[in-house]
Structure 1
Amino acid sequence: MEPRPRKLLDRVRDVIRMKHYSYRTEESYVAWIRRFILFHNKRHPSEMGAAEIEQFLSHLAVQERVAASTQNQAFSALLFLYREVLQQELDESINSVRAKPSRYLPTVLTKAETHAILNQMNGVPQLVAQLLYGSGLRLTEALQLRVKDLDFAQAQIVVRDAKGNESRVTMLPGCTIEPLQGQLRRLKRLHQQDLERGYGLVQLPYALERKYPNAGREWVWQFIFPSVGIPLDPRSGLRCRHHLHESSVQKAVKQATRAAGIQKRVGCHTFRHSFATHLLQDGYDIRTVQELLGHKDVKTTMIYTHVLNRGGRGVKSPLDS
């Protein structure tokens, strides 16, 4: 008896994991493909093509009035489905109604406002927020830091497999070194307790858990900001201690902003915007800031300022100034 073929969405997950996409991308793509199928009354995508994709994308723009970035994400998910999973080329151009892209400048805090918010925070959320501003990290990059990514001797952080699967090096603010060392001491005790209870496992990138079966319990691979519980990993099915959830830091930032009386729309990414802007205001070269942020194109960095380029050899974190 031949085994039953795998369901379409399971095949989508298989290909995504084979290409080492993030779990967040996996969940997003699967959700969009499911919505596409339901929109067309559960017809199988192999029976549809460019016309149905165009109809769905137009519906998102006209009826649901989604942002351009949301529509583009849906389009990317459907292109992935047809090209990578179904191995089916779309022989017609997609001429859907496009959502109008918004053009806006990011919210940027002054240095005084930034420190006012940070001073209203405490504990791990404060330390994470300090890294967002002091090192220019994205929230997910900060939470996914592992013990081996901190270099106290050279005062730098290695950001691995960031957006676009790129890695980069950025500065480690001097005023965060002592709190981070204290966090590592607490993490060391927690990890030892997990090992004694038969746990201590963390998820490893790519296929390292097969190449190095015991690496997931090694100290250097542990997340610096661990989760409270030890849930089942959605991919491996094993109990792993994940990193802290994004929402805990996001809530702390919102509460601190209200407590500081800052009348701006502030989120975790605002610290990264402020990091870039303050460095450029201090005269650092835009190419240097581009490398610290991990932008592929300098045009992305140019949104922060039109200040003339003035070179600088070493970069001092704005958190230390």
Structure 2
Amino acid sequence: MDTTITSAPIGSLRQRMLQDMKLRGLGAHTQQDYIRHVRSFAAFLGRPPDTANAEDLRRFQLDQHRRAVGPATINAAVSALRFLFTMTLKRPEIALGLSVIRCEPKLRDVLSVEEAARLIEAAPGIKYKAAFSVAYGAGLRVSEVTHLKVGDIDSERMIIRVEQGKGRKDRNAMLSPHLLDLLRQWWREGKRRGVMLPHGWLFPGRNCTDPISARQLNRAVHGAAEFAGIHKRVSPHTLRHSFATHLLEQGVDIRVIQVLLGHTNIDTTAIYTKVSSKTMRAVASPLDQIVALMEGRAPPG
């Protein structure tokens, strides 16, 4: 009996996988990542990925470990290959041996309130100042900032509508009076420049029919941080992290912060308790309690 596996042309396999991902509602960034990891696997294999067997996947993972590939990249590749073999190729048994790596989330760099103010003030112009302020003042992800439209700003209800955020979910973000005033300033300036189209992007790119790119926003943040003398590793996402941490330090309930950030899991939001210095300072050390008792004082706390 002939057991030779015939492979489909790589182009058609890629098209099938894209169709399957679209059918299951995977976001555009996830689709791009999955295709990239499958392409990497195919390059390692030296032949079409649909001809692979379980041993090929095992060798691929061993090669990743040999090259000291980071846990996040390894786990992302596992997700991509599981999707390929389970959903597109209907051969889930091939992917059973794939192993993910448990990795502890790294502590995030967070700006102080004063540093956040300096960064926003150092923005190269009113458009970027408004974009930075949305990321910090509403806690939006960089992809959410770049894809805002003028109509997403609801000044009556004082909310920002975030459509198709991470996980293709819609949510409402907070809109403070100061942020609304700044956005109105940018809207008037954008109208004067002729780049603010009806029902168009809130932050247009070089071509006003396209939104500003995440890369443009990232470069602007780096430049502003350098100009402001901030030596931490800073990105647009740092402003979102700082938003969450500063709310926590103000005593806002962590479940409220979870909703504002659009987190599905409270554990994701709880990471911010690790970077909140005020939270740590508010906890009395057992040593202080012992010393207080030894000195006949009321223990702190």
TM range (shorter): 0.7 to 0.9
Alignment-mate amino acid for residue 93 of structure 2:
L
When the two chains are superposed, the root-mean-square deviation of aligned CA atoms in Å is 2.4
Q: Counterparts of 1:260-271 in structure 2 under 5 Å?
A: 260-271=228-239
What fraction of aligned residue pairs are identical, expressed as a percent? 31
Evaluate the alpha carbon distance shift between residue 252 and residue 191 of structure 1 in structure 2; reply closer, same or farther with a 3 A threshold. closer
1:94 aligns with one of 92, 97, 115: 97
Hey, what does 1:137 align to over in structure 2? 140
Query: Which of these residues, 82, 85, 99, is aligned with residue 82 of structure 1?
Result: 85
**Structure 2 residue aligned with 1:296, among 240, 245, 264?**
264
| Alignment equivalent of 1:48, drawn from 45, 52, 55 | 52
Unpaired runs of 5+ residues, structure 1, are 193-218, 231-240, 309-321
Q: Give the TM-score normalised by structure 1.
A: 0.75
- Greater helix proportion: 2
Corresponding residue to 1:287 among 236, 240, 255: 255
**What CA deviation, in whole Å up to 9, does each residue of 1:118-159 have, x standing for no partner?**
111122222111111100000001111123321111211111
Aligned to 1:229: 207
Question: Distance in 1 between the 2:102 and 2:39 partners?
Answer: 24
Consecutive unaligned residues in structure 2, runs of 5 or more: 1-7, 281-301
Maintained 8 Å contact 2:195/2:204: no
Shift in alpha-carbon separation, 1:91–1:296, aligned structure 2, 3 A = same
The 3 A distance-change label for structure 1 pair 92 and 191 is: closer
- Residue equivalent to 1:28: 33
Contact 1:68 / 1:102 at 8 angstroms: preserved in 2? Answer: no
CA distance in 2, matches of 1:14, 1:128: 34
Give SS of 2:92's match. Answer: coil
Alignment TM-score, normalising by the size of structure 2: 0.80
Q: Which residue of 1 aligns with 2:214?
A: 246
Shift of 1:112: 0.5
Q: 3-state SS of the aligned residue for 1:169?
A: strand
1:119 alignment counterpart: 121
Equivalent-residue separation in structure 2 for 1:31 and 1:17 (angstroms): 16
Retained in 1: the 8 A contact 2:222–2:234?
yes
Q: Distance in 2 between matches of 1:160 and 1:280?
A: 25
Higher relative contact order structure (alpha carbons within 8 Å, sequence separation ≥ 6) = 1
Kindly provide the amino acid, as one letter, of the partner of residue 103 in structure 2: P
Give the letter for the 2:137 counterpart: G
Q: Which moved more, 1:102-111 or 1:133-142?
A: 102-111
Q: Give, in whole Å, the separation in 2 of the partners of 1:294 and 1:163.
A: 8
Deviation digits for residues 160-187 of structure 1, max 9, x if unmatched?
A: 2211222221111222213323444536
Q: Highest Rg: 1 or 2?
A: 2
